[in-house]
Amino acid sequence: MPDFLTFLSRNMRWIAGGFLLCFFSSFGQTFFISLSNAQIREAFALSHGEFGLIYMVATLASAATLPFLGGLLDRYSIMAVSIGSMAMLTVATLALPLAGSIVTLVIALYLLRLFGQGMMTEISHTAIGKWFVASRGRAIAVTTLGLHFGTALFPFAFVALSGAFGWRGAWMAGAAVMLVLALPLIAGLVRRERDPVASEPPSPDKVPVRDWSRREVLRDPNFYVALVGVLAPPFIGTTIYFHQVYLTELKGWSLDIFALGFAAMSAMTVVTTLLAGSAVDRYTSVRLLPSFLVPLAAACFVAAVGDGTWTIFVFMGLLGISTGLSSTLVGSLWPELYGAAHLGAIRSMVLSAAVLFTAIGPGLTGFLIDMEVPYEAQLAAMGIYSAVAAIAMLNLSRKIVAGRIAAPAR
């Protein structure tokens, strides 16, 4: 603990900058936007299905755009890209409550998803991946907690503000917070970039990695094997959260008790994230690669076969462990495999795929539910997928550790 506190004190400005980027990405995250779902549907006379389709289109469009913006992080300073992204997120946060037509609603949602969920987290993880090497795991673990803190705090703030000023007023207040607080504070924190060579002693355990280009990564079959596992948590997690009401009805659980399961999940996520950060710095994320899929597979199987109230806390706790592990491991994995020079372009491809899977998951499972495919069977299938992916990750990890993968010839 003393070493960890020393690490934080010495690197506070960069850690705080990454943390706040994740924290303020909340304005573009599904959990925050969904707080206004009913009011938006009422304002535009939309059904659940119609608004869901609009939201999916906006999310898919943001996923398609993200790879083009992610490369900016490899050509311009972190501060410049941060200022541009936060300015656009501010515009989006203001545009949503002022939208007067379906077209402007779609544009506002697209910008929220692109610059909130997409670029804000992309900047944070790319910056930390470039700025830290020996202590990258701990740095990513702490900054990732920004999103979890946002998930815990922003809903309460939104409910309080919307009660006093209406949902449109609450969104306008969010735009003011972005402009007056987030933008100048984060810009000041990331203005001076960290030099990992000068700031960290060389580690004999860290194998030098050649910097791969995005084209080289796309030609590497190991990249697609890694994606098999990396994309499982966003697909499965989003699907379970989206169909949580249906799951409680299916199992006969109380929604109030199920809500307590989210508290258990959040607690496990925070604890696991911090532990995973130290583990990554000690063992590397490549060696730990299969670990985050094991609790995910177990969570799916428990949710599929369990009926008692205890099931809620067991499978939600396992989801929290998987989330904590994956957020830290995946954040450290790409610079370990492919270097940091083109990290923005590489990470943007991964994040774009993750956003795509979060859009596909609820729709695909909802279609299967309509086709009367038992939801428990779907959960079990997700568990089998996670278990198979864990085996693939184990083989990939052993392959990389045995002999570092080499970039293809130019």
pLDDT in tens, 251-289: 998 877 887 887 788 889 889 988 888 888 888 888 888
Same domain, 8 and 96: yes
Q: Lowest-pLDDT range, 196-200, 216-220, 296-300?
A: 196-200
Q: Residue 146: name the closest of 173, 121, 176, 119 by CA.
A: 121
pLDDT in tens, 55-98: 888 988 998 898 889 888 888 999 999 999 999 999 999 999 99
Q: Among 165, 195, 225, which residue terminates a domain?
A: 195
* % of the chain at pLDDT higher than 90: 39
For residue 42, pLDDT over 70 is answered with yes
Cα 206 to the center of its chain, rounded Å: 26
For residue 240, pLDDT over 90 is answered with no
Please indicate, yes or no, if residue 407 is contained in any of the structural domains.
no
Same domain, 191 and 232: no
pTM, two decimals, is: 0.81
What is the C-alpha to C-alpha distance for residues 390 and 239, in angstroms, rounded to an integer?
Answer: 19
Please indicate, yes or no, if residue 409 is contained in any of the structural domains.
no
Cα 56 to the center of its chain, rounded Å: 17
Question: What CATH number did the domain enclosing 28 receive?
Answer: 1.20.1250.20
Same domain, 107 and 240: no
pLDDT in tens, 146-174: 988 888 788 888 888 988 999 999 999 99
Same domain, 308 and 190: no
* pLDDT score for 406: 47
Please indicate, yes or no, if residue 51 is contained in any of the structural domains.
yes
pLDDT in tens, 172-209: 999 999 999 999 999 999 998 887 755 555 554 555 67
Same domain, 20 and 162: yes
Are 139 and 18 within 8 A, CB to CB? yes
Higher local confidence (pLDDT), 23 or 49: 23
Same domain, 169 and 244: no
For residue 292, pLDDT over 80 is answered with yes
Higher local confidence (pLDDT), 175 or 410: 175
For residue 334, what are the domain limits? 211-401
Please indicate, yes or no, if residue 396 is contained in any of the structural domains.
yes
For residue 351, pLDDT over 60 is answered with yes
pLDDT in tens, 368-396: 888 888 999 999 999 999 999 999 999 99
Tokens of 53: 């389709």
* pLDDT score for 407: 45
Q: Residue 367: name the closest of 216, 281, 239 by CA.
A: 239
Same domain, 342 and 385: yes
Please indicate, yes or no, if residue 250 is contained in any of the structural domains.
yes
Same domain, 179 and 257: no
Same domain, 166 and 216: no
Which residues are CB-neighbours of 267 under 8 A, at least 6 positions away? 320
Please indicate, yes or no, if residue 56 is contained in any of the structural domains.
yes
Please indicate, yes or no, if residue 279 is contained in any of the structural domains.
yes
Please indicate, yes or no, if residue 244 is contained in any of the structural domains.
yes
What is the C-alpha to C-alpha distance for residues 151 and 155, in angstroms, rounded to an integer?
Answer: 7
Same domain, 187 and 262: no
Same domain, 153 and 292: no
Determine if residue 211 is left, alpha or beta; phi over 0 gives left, psi from -120 to 50 gives alpha, anything else beta: beta
**Number of domains the chain contains:** 2
Same domain, 228 and 327: yes
